[in-house]
Amino acid sequence: MTIALATCSWLPEGSDDAQALIKALDRAGLAADPVVWDGPADWSSHDLVIIRSTWDYTTRRDEFLAWARGLPRLLNPVDVLSWNTDKRYLRELADAGVPVVPTLWDPSGVPAEWPEYVVKPAVSIGCRDTARWGPGEEAAARAHLRSLREGGRTAMVQPYLSAIDTEGETALVFLDGAFSHAGRKAPILTAGAGVEGPVVPGGPRGQVTAAEATAEQLAVAEWALAAVPGGPDLLYARVDLVPGPDGSPVVIELELAEPNLYLQFGPGAADRLAGAVAARL
């Protein structure tokens, strides 16, 4: 059995997560290699492809999904990738009653009712083309919205929840449908900084540390996963939560495509993930 862990051209050896999984699969008697998703590769020679660090797809999402649909066997499944790589899935979660960060979709202007707000494209990772705006920055925020629309992209606007500055985001990681571990991401967006560059793994913004999930956070995360269309059997998932205005956790993102799983924060997590892979072969 041979397994490909799909990655991107600027990370040809895969992420730290991918390397940890390769070692765990080797311990389980399975061979795996990182393979650049849009590079020259014979995908038919692999029994399974697992999406990992394909972090350059956002400007070529249609091409990425066409590639994924052509694979004989893929995890997570391509229908999940298609649904989850456009943040408009948040509307479906909200319709299912899941608490999510309030979102305006393609608004004509900036909201007057929110002291601070975030403008970002619906297809994006790592806070690329994303900015936090506040009082006195309305003209810049409108220009940001306009640039997204002129680029043919769906824009979304969310309130900036102030508790993020002190508590960050809590990322709950699920492996083979079961909660595994959690990480805490430091604040990423800086007031007054405008559109910053994307977050780089290991960089100064959004650093991640180990965390403990509360029962309330776990309940919200499980609620969100239960609302995924079709109730797919997911190999991996990450639910990112932030404190809402009343302190209760709300979903800011649901990561089912190519999330960093922070395996280093879950004792035995890489081996559990490898075991789940082996069980699916």
Q: What is the pLDDT of residues 4-22, one digit of tens each?
A: 999 999 999 999 999 999 9
Work out the average pLDDT over 98-107.
Answer: 97
> Does 26 score more than 90 pLDDT?
yes
Is residue 226 within 8 A of residue 146, CB to CB? The reply is: no
Work out the average pLDDT over 89-97.
Answer: 98
Q: What is the pLDDT of residues 234-264, one digit of tens each?
A: 999 999 999 999 999 999 999 999 999 999 9
Work out the average pLDDT over 162-184.
Answer: 97
What CATH architecture applies to the domain 2-84?
Answer: 3-Layer(aba) Sandwich (3.40)
Give the pLDDT confidence score for residue 103 in this predicted structure.
97
Work out the percent of the chain whose per-residue pLDDT is above 70: 95
Confidence of residue 182 (pLDDT cuts 50, 70, 90): very high
Classify burial at 157, counting beta carbons within 10 Å of its beta carbon; exposed 0-12, middle 13-18, buried 19 or more. Answer: buried
Structure tokens at 127: 């806070």
Work out the percent of the chain whose per-residue pLDDT is above 90: 87
Give the pLDDT confidence score for residue 210 in this predicted structure.
97
* CATH 3.40.50.20-classified regions of the chain: 2-84
Work out the average pLDDT over 97-120.
Answer: 94
CATH placement of domain 163-263: 3.30.470.20
Give the pLDDT confidence score for residue 232 in this predicted structure.
74
Confidence of residue 192 (pLDDT cuts 50, 70, 90): confident
Work out the average pLDDT over 148-177.
Answer: 96
Give the pLDDT confidence score for residue 140 in this predicted structure.
94
* CATH 3.30.470.20-classified regions of the chain: 163-263
> Does 40 score more than 80 pLDDT?
yes
Give the pLDDT confidence score for residue 175 in this predicted structure.
98
Query: How high does pLDDT run on average in the chain?
Result: 94
Query: Pairing mode, if any, of strands 155-159 and 31-36?
Result: unpaired
Crossing angle between the packed helical segments 269-280 and 16-27, to the nearest 10 degrees? 60
pTM of structure: 0.95
> Does 221 score more than 90 pLDDT?
yes
Query: Pairing mode, if any, of strands 249-255 and 48-53?
Result: unpaired
Work out the average pLDDT over 114-124.
Answer: 95
Is residue 99 within 8 A of residue 220, CB to CB? The reply is: yes
Is residue 170 within 8 A of residue 240, CB to CB? The reply is: yes
